[in-house]
Structure formats: C-alpha cells, structure tokens
Amino acid sequence: MINNDYYKNIVGLNRWFIDDKECQHVGDAFGNKPKTRWLTHSRKMTERGGPVFWIHQNHVCPSVFNDKNWNNEARQCIEQAGPGQQCKPDPSAGSSVPRLEDQEDGNPSSGCEKWRLIVGKDEIALNCEMGLYLDFNVTNGVPHGCEGLEHFAEEMASDEPRAVWSREPGHGRLRGQPGCAKQTLSEPAGSTPLYMIMEEYAHDNTVWIDDFTLAFEKMMRNGASNEILQNAPDTTSNVYCPLPKRRSNEIPCYEKQEAGNGTVFMIGCRSSPFANKVLQYDADKDTFNFGDMTQETNQQWRVSKEGNQLVNEMTGLAWNVENVANFEMEKNGDQNMYIISPVDDRVVDCWSARKNGKPCNLAPRKTTASQKLYAIPFTL
C-alpha cells in the first residue's frame, strides 16, 4: 500500500495494535486507539554491542483476538472485562479500582493495559529513520545526546551478553522512550524544519502523495548514465537463500553444490529408535527429519561433486543442521560414518530426531549410536 502510514508510525501517532489474521483492532481497555512510543534497543550481537535499533510499542490490552501468547494474567484481564471493554481497566494513580475512560492509567508499565510489542511482528526503525523526527547524535552506530540514552555507550562497550533498552527520562532504570528533542534540521537553512514536514505528512496523506509523486517522476526522468551505474558483484548465482523461519534449524543462505554422479543411497541411524527409518525431506514441515522408509526420492541422497554436501534427490537441496550445510564425512569402521561440522568439530547427533518430525542437531563427539550414521543401498 502506498500511503503515509510510515510517517504516522515514526512521529508516534496513536496506532492500532493488530495481532491476528483477520486484522482486528486491539486498543486500550475501552477499545480506543492506543498510544505508542519508540524505545532504543540493542541485543548486543556484534563486537561493538550493536546493532542498535528502535522498537515500536503500543499501550494496550493483551492480544484480545489471538490467545497464542496468553498467560494466566492475560486471560484473567480479558475475562474480567466489563461490557464494551476489551480488558479490565487498570487503576488510575492513587486508586485501587478500575479507572474510568477519561482517567489515565496510573502505571502504564504493568497491569492489564501496558506497553506491548507485537510478538514476532515487531515494528522497528533504524537510527537514520528516527533521526528524521528526533534529534540525537550517533557514534559508531550508538545513539546518544538525549536523556534516557546516557548508559548506551558504556553498555555497548561491555562484553556482558544482555539486552539494552532506553530509559524513561527521570525514572531511573524504567524502560521508556528517550527524551530527545524534535529534529530541527532544515534545507535550505531557515526553511520548514524536518520534524514539521514529518508531522505534516503524518496528518495529511494528500500532502504526502502529491510530494511523493513529483519526486518519483523527477527521479524517473533523471535516470542514470552507464558511466554512473555499474553491475554489482554476483552474489546470488547458485545460492539457496530462503526466508528464515522462527524456531527452525534451517540455514538462511548457503552456496548450492551439484550432486555427484555416484551411487544414490539412503541414510540411516544406528540408534534403536531409528529402526526402519531413514533421513528424508519432509514437505509438510519443510525440513529434514527421519521417517518410515519408503525409498521415494525425498529419501534419496547423493554426495555433492565437491564432496562436502549431502544433496537430496527430490529437492536438490543440501541437508543442513543448525545452520551448517558443508560437512566433513569421517568413516567409523566399515559401515558407519560421522558427519562433522568443520566450524567447531561438532558432529551430527540425531537423538532429538527420534521424535516424529524433529530434526537432528550438532553435539560434541561421543560414541553414542545416535551419532553413527550409515548409507543404505536400495532394494527396489
């Protein structure tokens, strides 16, 4: 959809919380469109502590129309809602009884109505995007210069593995939106400041689409000459790069290798729960696991020409385990073999795959039968 929704989000207008397939609107206890805020956040995934990004939250009831993430507290909040309410209202400041619609939540960080993000569908923004509306400084990717961000540089420099959040100005360690001023940058100097343009676009879709159309048409007319444009390096040929799935061992991207001309075989495991079961591509679960032997092509394998991938005959995809697709294959006696990750010398262990539909994992090398795999010739 081409509209000004982006600007509404960035400037922090009230926004519906939507967390079900029918896109039903979740609001505050009285069904009103909820307030929103942006928190600065890092999960410290790099050596410098970043990447730092901003995450969007709504002040809402639990996800009323999607009970997937309900706990007992959320269930009680919804079940105790009064007529016309989405959940039980929180008390106002200094009270112990549910507030009225025209009263403010006394503690917006806890209770039935509180700041929430949409789990698994988090709305995030980068520093360069929030900088269109808020005025802050950035050094080595770390924002600073606002009340509530004072601890970020120190936290990013620490090796302690922890999540870091911006803090509510004047409230100690309470999570909150940092107290940044609005972005007054203007071009040319003295013209309308940037934050006002963002707000104008947020409040008027027609103003935004009129400006967007003119800018887009100008860009299309200008084009670019061959002296300016150059072909980027080819990084996609023969690369398998699916969208990653939550709670999955599927590798996001790897370079595919062509199956060799050697014998087609099946792969078994010496552990007793795998009797009459072989490694397969499971189309229903879109993953590799063990299933009853049928000798269909989804259970057929070849070693790649390079010799370090096991390629499935039906899909042409390599077996991957915990984001590893290239393996070293070491014989263990005449019949068995270890499948070894060259990254950390762990081996494929299929004990977890004894449960139907579960994939194998990587584990330190042992002498257990669940790590002993073997090739099975066809009998058809």
pLDDT digits (tens, 9 = 90+) for 137-156: 999 899 999 999 999 999 99
Q: What is the pTM of this model?
A: 0.66
Q: At 276, list the tokens.
A: 């009459």
Provide the greatest CA pair distance for the chain: 82
CA–CA separation, 335 vs 174, rounded Å?
Answer: 60
**Whether residue 228 has pLDDT greater than 80:** no
**Whether residue 177 has pLDDT greater than 90:** yes
Candidate ranges 43-47, 143-147, 328-332, 342-346; pick with highest mean pLDDT: 143-147
Residue range 231-245: mean pLDDT, rounded: 79
Q: Where are the alpha helices (DSSP H) in the chain?
A: 5-10, 72-79, 127-130, 152-157, 194-203, 205-222
Of 47, 7, 6, the residue nearest 202 (C-alpha): 7
Q: Which residues contact 25 (CB under 8 A, 6 or more apart)?
A: 16, 17, 18, 31, 33
**Whether residue 93 has pLDDT greater than 90:** yes
CA–CA separation, 291 vs 285, rounded Å?
Answer: 12
The pLDDT assigned to 246 comes to 61
* Structural domains present in the chain: 5-92+105-182 (no CATH), 258-376 (2.80.10.50)
Share of the chain above pLDDT 70, in %: 97
The pLDDT assigned to 121 comes to 82
Residue whose entry in the numeric block shows the structure tokens 């039906």: 314
Contact call for residues 36 and 15 (beta carbons, < 8 A): yes
